[in-house]
Structure 1
């Protein structure tokens, strides 16, 4: 099954450098260790001439490529978070965090 996990996030105000250091050097590797996560890439918002109604709600995006059943990947992620194998940083603004799993249309 071809699916992606999209994680939209922000740093706590004034903590972008520490947030990006944690995400790039710790968190990304922890998530890629979850069974069913093939790889992950991070992005930051780029100014665009496309417009669209002002500043977007999120500054950062992580895209993870998944294999297998997305529900199983989500369960494995939750299990690793519960045991502390995946740690969250206090620099992550949890009030704006948005995580969704998307699958390619026409797949089961």
Structure 2
């Protein structure tokens, strides 16, 4: 299992939705996974949810182990012939990709060795209440994350903290994150509705939780090898 993620929130350029989908789910996904340091990628599209959810309709999750190494490798290829950037992605609204360290708890129903594609997820962005950052983390790492993972309809819960290595410094609007995978979307959202709005030591006015459904299966380096060298 990787110990870090890069999460990218984005929208297509108006009128170029089909081109955006073809590029992001095709050549860009392959080029990303081919980059040294990137272990896999999976795309998602926003679905309706019961919480404040921002303005981005698409999410990409890249798995990696070493944020510093991966950022250096991505810098070598981004925008080049090895990783061209399509005009179909709306650069005026794209959220700078953010690097996160993670800790994960899975429900008893799911083996810790399961590394298949993610199901529907809830991506939560949080800030701790003033002076409560350590207490916020402690509450999740010592029981809170396990309680979320064991709610009906929930499969796994990951706690994210911003890595020191970032593409841009302005990604720090939210310093804490959650990725919660659902086994049963309707049941899971019902279970989480109040739980995510009342996390202990969280700032009640500075958080959001976005529901995303997978567009594609998780793509690994082995998958890319099969596609490019059949």
Same fold (TM over 0.5): yes
User: What is aligned with 1:61?
Assistant: 59
Q: TM-score, length-normalised on structure 2?
A: 0.42
Deviation at 1:11, TM superposition (A): 0.3
CA contact 2:79–2:85 (8 Å) conserved in 1: no
> Does the alignment pair 1:51 with 2:51?
yes
Name the count of aligned residue pairs: 104
Structure 1 residue ranges without an equivalent (≥5)? none
Match of 1:93 among 90, 95, 102: 90
Between the aligned partners of 1:96 and 1:63, the Cα distance in structure 2 is 18
Look up the SS of the partner of 2:78 in the other structure: helix
Note closer, same or farther for the CA distance 1:101–1:18 as it changes in structure 2 (3 Å cut): same
Between the aligned partners of 1:14 and 1:58, the Cα distance in structure 2 is 16
Structure 2 residue ranges without an equivalent (≥5)? 104-140, 142-162, 164-230
**After the TM superposition, which parts of structure 1 deviate over 3 Å for at least 4 consecutive aligned residues?**
none
Looking at secondary structure, tell me which structure has more strand per residue: 2
Higher relative contact order (CA 8 A, sep 6+): 1
CA contact 2:12–2:88 (8 Å) conserved in 1: yes
Deviation at 1:83, TM superposition (A): 3.9
Deviation at 1:15, TM superposition (A): 1.2
Q: TM-score, length-normalised on structure 1?
A: 0.86
Look up the SS of the partner of 1:31 in the other structure: helix
Between the aligned partners of 2:54 and 2:25, the Cα distance in structure 1 is 22
**CA RMSD of superposed structures (Å):** 2.2
